[in-house]
Amino acid sequence: MTDPIPSERFAGAVPALGSELRVHRDRLEYDPGGLRGLVGGSKAVDIGEIDLVVRRDGRLDRLLGAGSYDLVRSGEPTVRLYHLADTDEVERALGGRVPAPRDRVEAVDEAEARAALQRRRVAWRRWPDDEPLPRTAVVTDPDLAERLHVEVEIERPEVTRAEDARPSGVTAADFENGNFPGGGGGGDADFTGGTSRHSPGLASNEGGAEKNVGSESTGDI
């Protein structure tokens, strides 16, 4: 029987998205919030399926002091956790739940442990030969994370135009922030194909500026 109440919760660093990671005894539940959550919903991942937790910070993470993490699994798509706040506590919780590599196999030395892991868990076949096995499954070194970044398939919700409620010409970021007409986000996105401010009496078209009807008075006929 699975435990319905998580032992720990971690919020995302972007409050408007409402993302959250919930840590249970046997699984992780992740709600990405925003458009990702609206389309794909929450994701549950069995902790026993996770081989590595690899930190991959992007520009927004560095700006916010947040962290994004890949949950790398053998034979399954990687699940990405975006922009989590309180990274020290997140890494402590994940490191305490996800089995360490040496705990997955019975081996006397490093070479035997590596060989056994690579036989049983295909994700470990990407581990660099010149790097010792980590003490925990959480990898935070950016150089090592970059070396592990080899054609990792990220699990993403499939979005079709029927499912995507964005008006034509609105980016996903603007849609999440409400920056579109009627979105309530205060944005002034322009959908004319030109800039949002035109010269009086002019409108943009493919051939250049064209006078609007009635923009200038014409002579008497």
Written in H, E and C, the secondary structure of 37-73 is HHHHCCEEEEHHHEEEEEECCCHHHHHHCCEEEEEEE
Q: Where is the domain boundary, 148, 163, 183?
A: 148
Q: Does 162 map to a domain?
A: no
The answer to the question of residue 166 being in a domain is: no
Please report the pLDDT score of residue 170 as a whole number.
Answer: 62
203 φψ region: left (φ > 0), alpha (ψ -120 to 50), beta (else): beta
In a domain, 163, yes or no: no
Q: What is the CATH number of the domain that holds 127?
A: 2.30.29.30
Same domain, 112 and 77: yes
* Same domain for 199 and 127: no
pLDDT at res. 38: 85
pLDDT of residue 192: 40
The pLDDT of residue 66 is 97
The answer on 178 and 137 residing in a single domain is no
C-alpha to C-alpha distance for 69 and 28, rounded to whole angstroms: 13
Q: Would you state the pLDDT for residue 72? A: 96
One domain, residues 26 and 70: yes
User: Are residues 180 and 117 both part of a single domain?
Assistant: no
> Residue 206's pLDDT is what?
45
| Shared-domain flag, residues 89 and 188 | no
Q: What is the pLDDT of residue 213?
A: 42
Q: What amino acid occupies position 18?
A: G
State whether 36 and 80 are in the same domain: yes
Residues 68 and 137 in one domain: yes
Task: Tell me what pLDDT residue 4 has.
Answer: 75
Q: What is the pLDDT of residue 95?
A: 96
Q: How far is residue 189's CA from residue 178's CA, in Å, rounded to a whole number?
A: 10
**Residues 144, 199 within the same domain:** no
Distances (CA, A) of 18 to 35, 38, 155: 11, 11, 20
Residues 84, 25 share a domain: yes
Domain of residue 194: give its range: 172-211
If asked whether residues 144 and 176 sit together in one domain, one would say no
Q: Given this model, what pLDDT does residue 153 score?
A: 52
The number of distinct structural domains making up the chain is 2
> pLDDT below 70 — which residues of the chain?
1-3, 150-221
- The pLDDT of residue 199 is 41
pLDDT of residue 204: 43
